[in-house]
C-alpha cells in the first residue's frame, strides 16, 4: 500500500519536472534574439553549475586521474548536448526538436535489450521520423535536423557518461564538477554569441530562470521520483517528453504542428515506451537464476 501511495505523487513529480523543462526551453527560445542560442547555453550551464556546486559542495579528494577524465568527458558531453539542442531549437519547433532528440536514448535502449524483436521498435521510430516530415522534408530545416540528431547522439553519450561518473562520485558531486567543466567550455562561445547583451541584468536574470526551470527543478523532482518509482516506469514517463514539448511549443510559442507531425511524435513516443519495456524485460530475465 505504501508503494502505491508513493507512486501517484512520484508520477506528478515527473510530469511537473517535464513541464518545467519545456517551459524553460520555451523561455530560452524567446531569448534567442537577444543572447543567441550559444549565449543561452552558456547562461544555463553557468547558473546550473553555480547552483549544483552550492548544493552539493563536492570535494576534490579521493579520486584518480581516470575519474577526473570521466568527469571531463561528462562535462564535454553536457556542453555539446545543450549547444546542439539550442541550435536545433533556433531552426525547428520545440516538439519536433525534442522528438528527434529522444531518438538517442531510444536507440540506446534498443541496443541494450539485445533482442531481435526490439528492432521492431526501431522501425516504429523510423516511421515516426518519416511522419515528422509531414507533407515533405522542405517543412523542416535540414541544418536544424542535423543539430537535433547531434543532440540525440549526445544524449545517448550523456546517459553512458552519467552512469560512469555516478558509480564513482557520491550524490551530486560528479554532476556538479561536470556542469562546471561544461560551463567553462560553453563560456567563450556564449560570450561571442551574446556580446553586450550579457551586460543587461534583466537578460542575465532570465537566463538564471531558464537554468532553474530546465535543470535544477526537473533534476530534483526526478531524483525524488526515482526513489518511489521503478526505473522502467520512470523511463516510460520520460518518454512523454515529446508530447509535453509539443504542447509547450503550441501554448507558449504559437508553434502549430501538422497532423502528420503529430502522428510522428506519437509513433516515437510509442516506440520509446515499447523499447523501455523490452529492455526492462530483458534485464529481469538476465537477473533470474538459471534452473
Over residues 145-165, mean pLDDT: 87
The pTM (predicted TM-score) of the whole model is: 0.82
Separation CA 270–CA 62 (nearest Å): 44
Q: What is the pLDDT of residue 150?
A: 94
Q: What is the pLDDT of residue 2?
A: 43
Q: Is pLDDT above 90 for 241?
A: no
Q: Is pLDDT above 50 for 290?
A: no
List CB contacts of 217: < 8 A, sequence separation 6 or more.
16, 17, 20
Under 8 Å between Cβ of 35 and 197: yes
Q: Is pLDDT above 60 for 217?
A: yes
Cell numbers for 221, please give them.
523532482
Separation CA 22–CA 241 (nearest Å): 8
Q: Is pLDDT above 60 for 6?
A: no
Domain ranges of the chain: 2-287
Closest Cα partner for 140 from 255, 31, 25, 268? Answer: 255
Q: What is the pLDDT of residue 41?
A: 92
Separation CA 150–CA 79 (nearest Å): 12
pLDDT higher at 235 or 82: 82
pLDDT higher at 187 or 159: 187
Separation CA 21–CA 17 (nearest Å): 6
Q: What is the pLDDT of residue 85?
A: 93
Separation CA 243–CA 241 (nearest Å): 5
- What count of other Cβ atoms lies within 10 Å of the Cβ of residue 191? 13
Under 8 Å between Cβ of 138 and 129: no
How distant, in Å, are the alpha carbons of 52, 62, 165, 238 from that of 169? 14, 10, 6, 24
Under 8 Å between Cβ of 262 and 113: no
Closest Cα partner for 94 from 167, 196, 22, 156? Answer: 22
Q: Is pLDDT above 80 for 107?
A: no
Under 8 Å between Cβ of 14 and 182: no
How distant, in Å, are the alpha carbons of 26, 140, 147, 150 from that of 143? 20, 9, 6, 11
- The residue with cell 536514448 is 105
Separation CA 48–CA 54 (nearest Å): 10
Amino acid at each position: 500500500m505504501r508503494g502505491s501511495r508513493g507512486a501517484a505523487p512520484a508520477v506528478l513529480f515527473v510530469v511537473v519536472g517535464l513541464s518545467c523543462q519545456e517551459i524553460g526551453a520555451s523561455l530560452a527560445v524567446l531569448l534567442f534574439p537577444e543572447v543567441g542560442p550559444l549565449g543561452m547555453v552558456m547562461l544555463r550551464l553557468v547558473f546550473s553549475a553555480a547552483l549544483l556546486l552550492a548544493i552539493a559542495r563536492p570535494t576534490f579528494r579521493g579520486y584518480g586521474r581516470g575519474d577526473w577524465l570521466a568527469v571531463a568527458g561528462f562535462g564535454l558531453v553536457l556542453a555539446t548536448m545543450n549547444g546542439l539542442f539550442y541550435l536545433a531549437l533556433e531552426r525547428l519547433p520545440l516538439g519536433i526538436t525534442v522528438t528527434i532528440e529522444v531518438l538517442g536514448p531510444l536507440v540506446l535502449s534498443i541496443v541494450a535489450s539485445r533482442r531481435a524483436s526490439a528492432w521492431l521498435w526501431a522501425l516504429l521510430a523510423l516511421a515516426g521520423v518519416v511522419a515528422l516530415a509531414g507533407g515533405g522534408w522542405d517543412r523542416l530545416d535540414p541544418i536544424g535536423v542535423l543539430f537535433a540528431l547531434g543532440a540525440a547522439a549526445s544524449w545517448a553519450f550523456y546517459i553512458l557518461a552519467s552512469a560512469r561518473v555516478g558509480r564513482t562520485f557520491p550524490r551530486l558531486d560528479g554532476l556538479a564538477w561536470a556542469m562546471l567543466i561544461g560551463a567553462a567550455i560553453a563560456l567563450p562561445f556564449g560570450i561571442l554569441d551574446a556580446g553586450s547583451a550579457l551586460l543587461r541584468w534583466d537578460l542575465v536574470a532570465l537566463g538564471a530562470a531558464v537554468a532553474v526551470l530546465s535543470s535544477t527543478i526537473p533534476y530534483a523532482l526526478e531524483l525524488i521520483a526515482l526513489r518511489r518509482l521503478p526505473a522502467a516506469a520512470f523511463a516510460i514517463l520520460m518518454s512523454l517528453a515529446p508530447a509535453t514539448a509539443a504542447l509547450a511549443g503550441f501554448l507558449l510559442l504559437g508553434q502549430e504542428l501538422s497532423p502528420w507531425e503529430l502522428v510522428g511524435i506519437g509513433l516515437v513516443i510509442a516506440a520509446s515506451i515499447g523499447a523501455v519495456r523490452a529492455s526492462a524485460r530483458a534485464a529481469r530475465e538476465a537477473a533470474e537464476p538459471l534452473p
